[in-house]
Amino acid sequence: MTKPTFSPRPQRLALAVHAAMMALPMTATGVAICAAPSAAHAQATAQAPAQAMHDFDIPAGPLSTALTRVAAQSGVPLTADAALTAGKTAPALKGRMTLREALAQLLAGSGLAAGAEGASIVIKAAPPAPGGAKEAVLPVVTVRAGAEQESSWGPVKGYVATHSAMATKTDTAIIETPQSISVIGRDELDARGVNATIEALRYVPGVVTSFYGQDDRSWEWFSIRGFGSSYDANYLDGLRQPSGGYTVLQNEPYGLERIEVLRGPSSTMYGQGDAGGVISRISKRPRADAPREVEVQLGNYGRRRLAADLGGVLDDDGKLIYRVVAAGLGTDPQNDYPGWDEKRSKRTYIAPSIAWKPSPDTTLVVLADYHAFRTTSNSNEYVGQDHKRTRILTGEPSHDLHDQRQWSLGYQFEHRLNPNWTIRQNLRTARADLDAKFVYGYGSADALGNFAQDAYKRDESLRYTALDNQLQGRFDWFGMQHTALVGVDWLRVNFDDKAYTGAGPTLNVNNPVYGQPVADPSTLYESYVDKQRQLGFYAQDQMKLGPSWRITAGLRHDRAHTDNNERLAATTPRRDDSATTGRLGVSYVMASGLAPYASYAESFLPQVGSDFSGKRFDPTRGKQLELGVKYQPGEGKALFTAAVFDLTKTNVQTLDPEHVGYNVQTGEVRSRGLELEIKQELFRGLNVSAQYTWTDTEVTKSGDADLGKQLPNVPRHLASAWMDYKVQGNDWRGLGFGLGVRHVGKRYDDSANSLTSSSYTLVDAALTYDAGNWSLALNVNNLFDKDYLANASYGYPGSRRTAVLSAKYRF
């Protein structure tokens, strides 16, 4: 077989012809705006425009230009008379919708209508009356701000999202993204009464939450596909939120528009991170139609909360839009020390933002927030040698405080250079300060029941700046439509930690007494400053080949540097790491909404320490193969996903068999599994979200006792289902109810698989009533108040029943 050769001249000629056609005005006799790919395909699409969904991205401008782009992006030929479109303009059009809906929006108010004639769509003057039309005129429809117009950075209508930028950093249809994504929108967050980000993840496949029990600090303990991601997977508005020590940056769920989970390696877009995936939060942003609401909450454990969400337009021409989200909360800790007057937890949150749109092509959004919370540490039960439950809390409430203050300020800038090229710059700088003290004990009590404990105190400060620059372009090349993205991102983190220890009170587990005096710890045992820098260069191409094939390819190179100033040791070791990661995915999107896909993705994560020879440890590497199918039929009111994956993490530290007390990087961990997820509006008023996960983890290479064992805190079986229904009949209109079930299977608590935590099943429920501007809701988690241990090895109790009554007024 002869190897084909290509001449550059025909390609340049094709590009020139394409550019000329794009710039060609419509003649007075009318021109075909787009040539049909085939007569059969064009005729079928023209005759049944409501059945085919297309992705449109068209700026506001002349109507003739907008129609040209509709034809190019849908693949359906359009014919129009230049005299009819002369002087007329069209609004911006963006989102996934049918050709009928796209034309209806562009032609609204123009006095024109679209009709099918054979294999083409013809734009003509609207008939004087529907009955007078001789052709199959497509009726003008009202296009609402629903799923078909959803933005990846905006609200989700109902439970079913259609677009997400999490995997690609571009506004991409979920069924065209060759990797597993779950999106929890504002409607679902409100229906389930989510009051902490970790609660939102309870109904997401592949994610195990709260494996260290109820945490009043709202620390987000979770793993994705078996790999703990609490420190490395925290993203807000596309930029990483780093953590250090006991300082974990948090986000108030009331201030979020959506929460997204990307499962599997993601370093090609985001740089360093563990193999399991990342979780992203999208803040509420200024909108002209933003809800104006005030909410009051009352609940058990002394819960009291007042929140407000206000926004609107500041000027007459709508170029300045603002939004302010605020909340104040007071609660009591769930873990109750007998005979002790519990300290209340207090939280304050305010997030102002403003959007400026000086022109249709330029947008600047400035986002800020302040979040302060004062609460207690995570209490655990005493665990004896037999690991049976004792219900005796360790620690000392008189020396128990977690006081954190954090703020952030940033902006998101976007400018459309021309209809095909856009630049973006996202920046955020933030700081968090923490004062913490607690009492903690190790081991077992002596023969008299005395359990030794130590007192601790930590002073921490974290400051970071994150910057992401992007250039996005759309063009046709070699018979494919391309959405290309190139970018440079940068992250700087400074973390200052001072930790003190001292003598703590002894606890008698047979007769515990709390409220004992504790001297302020004064022995400095940890003092250092970490300075981290990461610079990443990435490129991605999303290709559309014909009506169905979608190919996503990405490549990235990162440089990471860490300077660790050890004050006590008077040393300043430096670690330099670099890594190149890639991703390749292929999807086949059918007109029915079915989209099978296959993908390969990589990750890397820098490591701390060195081996016996003094060689610094290399980053761990993650590699994943994923096969799946997504199905989103009709108008986007349902999304069914299924995925199988094989994920391997290498360069894992394990014991050095030749040098006691040292590690080597010969370890390897494998995670395989199946994930199923359903999100659907079954019929008007009834929404369903359900998932099932089967995960098989194994340590495949190790010099320790964990060889051949499963990863701790990872159940083989994880399942959940939630539904809520709002009555549609006149008699009970406004009444609604919800019911959810969560099951977490048995899992091992330690790496040697010698200890297990039992499986548990919890029930959640909701009762709601909407009456005009008022809405009332009663949300109950763990309805039957099941008493269980989330982790038997460390004695962390799970969340007990919580009941929250909310009253919301919109105006």
User: What does the pLDDT look like over 551-560, one tens digit per residue?
Assistant: 999 999 999 9
Percentage, residues of the chain above pLDDT 90? 65
Answer for the pair 80, 30: CB distance below 8 angstroms, yes or no. Answer: yes
Given a cut of 60, whether residue 133 has pLDDT beyond it is: no
Give the integer Cα–Cα distance in Å for 235 and 490: 14
- Tell me: the pLDDT tens digits for 357-378? 999 999 999 999 999 999 988 8
C-alpha distances in Å from residue 652, one per residue of 559, 577, 620, 656, 673: 20, 16, 6, 12, 20
Structure tokens at 679: 């999100």
Ranges 530-534, 553-557, 605-609: which has the least confidence: 605-609
Given a cut of 50, whether residue 743 has pLDDT beyond it is: yes
Could you give the count of Cα atoms lying within 13 Å of 476 in the half-sphere of its Cβ? 18
β pairing state of 207-209 and 222-224: antiparallel
Given a cut of 50, whether residue 509 has pLDDT beyond it is: yes
Contacts of 131 (CB under 8 A, 6+ apart): none
- Tell me: the pLDDT tens digits for 310-321? 999 998 888 999
For residues 234 and 17, the model is more confident at: 234
pLDDT reported for residue 12: 32
Given a cut of 60, whether residue 132 has pLDDT beyond it is: no
pLDDT, mean of residues 788-808: 92
With b meaning 16 or more CB within 10 Å and e meaning fewer, what string describes 538-555?
bebbbbbeeeeebbbebb
pLDDT, mean of residues 6-31: 33
Residues recorded for the chain? 811
Given a cut of 80, whether residue 41 has pLDDT beyond it is: no
pLDDT reported for residue 103: 86
Of 126-135, 140-149, 337-346, 603-612, give the range with the top mean pLDDT. Answer: 603-612
Q: Which residues of the chain does CATH 2.40.170.20 include? A: 293-810
- Tell me: the pLDDT tens digits for 86-108? 778 888 887 767 888 888 888 88
Q: Is 712 helix (H, G, I), strand (E, B) or coil?
A: coil
Given a cut of 60, whether residue 493 has pLDDT beyond it is: yes
Answer for the pair 790, 797: CB distance below 8 angstroms, yes or no. Answer: yes
Given a cut of 60, whether residue 22 has pLDDT beyond it is: no
Answer for the pair 304, 297: CB distance below 8 angstroms, yes or no. Answer: yes
Q: Is 42 exposed, middle or buried (0-12, 13-18, 19+ CB in 10 A)?
A: buried
The β-bridge partners of 556 are: 538, 581
Position 415, amino acid? H
Contacts of 477 (CB under 8 A, 6+ apart): 11, 15
pLDDT, mean of residues 712-724: 96
Closest listed residue to residue 399, CA positions, set 498, 518, 514: 518
Q: What are phi and psi of 267, to 5 degrees?
A: -70, -25
Given a cut of 90, whether residue 115 has pLDDT beyond it is: no
Structure tokens at 776: 């009332």
Give the integer Cα–Cα distance in Å for 797 and 215: 9
Answer for the pair 480, 545: CB distance below 8 angstroms, yes or no. Answer: yes
Given a cut of 90, whether residue 662 has pLDDT beyond it is: no
Answer for the pair 685, 706: CB distance below 8 angstroms, yes or no. Answer: no
Answer for the pair 52, 70: CB distance below 8 angstroms, yes or no. Answer: no
Q: How many beta carbons lie within 10 A of that of residue 768, not counting itself?
A: 21
Structure tokens at 681: 């509006």
- Tell me: the pLDDT tens digits for 544-585? 999 999 999 999 999 999 998 999 988 888 889 999 999 999
Q: Is 174 helix (H, G, I), strand (E, B) or coil?
A: helix
Q: Which residues of the chain does CATH 3.55.50.30 include? A: 26-143
- Tell me: the pLDDT tens digits for 685-696? 999 999 999 999
Structure tokens at 72: 């190019």
The β-bridge partners of 571 are: 566
Of 248-252, 293-297, 772-776, give the range with the top mean pLDDT. Answer: 293-297
Give the integer Cα–Cα distance in Å for 739 and 723: 6
Residue recorded with tokens 């939102």: 200
DSSP character string of 326-369? EEEEEE--SSPPTT--PPPEEEEEEEEEEEEEEETTEEEEEEEE
Give the integer Cα–Cα distance in Å for 84 and 89: 12
CATH code, residues 26-143: 3.55.50.30
Give the integer Cα–Cα distance in Å for 765 and 500: 44
Contacts of 228 (CB under 8 A, 6+ apart): 222, 274, 276, 713
Given a cut of 90, whether residue 768 has pLDDT beyond it is: yes
Position 659, amino acid? H
pLDDT reported for residue 128: 64
Q: What is the mean pLDDT of the chain?
A: 87
Answer for the pair 468, 485: CB distance below 8 angstroms, yes or no. Answer: no
CATH architecture of 293-810: Beta Barrel (2.40)
Give the integer Cα–Cα distance in Å for 297 and 194: 12
CA trace torsion 64, 69, 70, 71 (10° rounding): 90
Position 529, amino acid? V
Q: Which class would CATH give 148-283?
A: mainly beta
pLDDT reported for residue 47: 41
Q: With bands split at pLDDT 50, 70 and 90, how would you rate the model's confidence at 793?
A: confident
Q: Is 285 exposed, middle or buried (0-12, 13-18, 19+ CB in 10 A)?
A: buried
- 197 secondary structure, DSSP code: H
With b meaning 16 or more CB within 10 Å and e meaning fewer, what string describes 777-791?
bbbbbbbeeeebbbb
Give all strands (DSSP E) within 509-637, no chain letters.
523-545, 549-566, 574-588, 594-605, 620-631
pLDDT reported for residue 121: 83
- 51 secondary structure, DSSP code: G
pLDDT reported for residue 149: 64
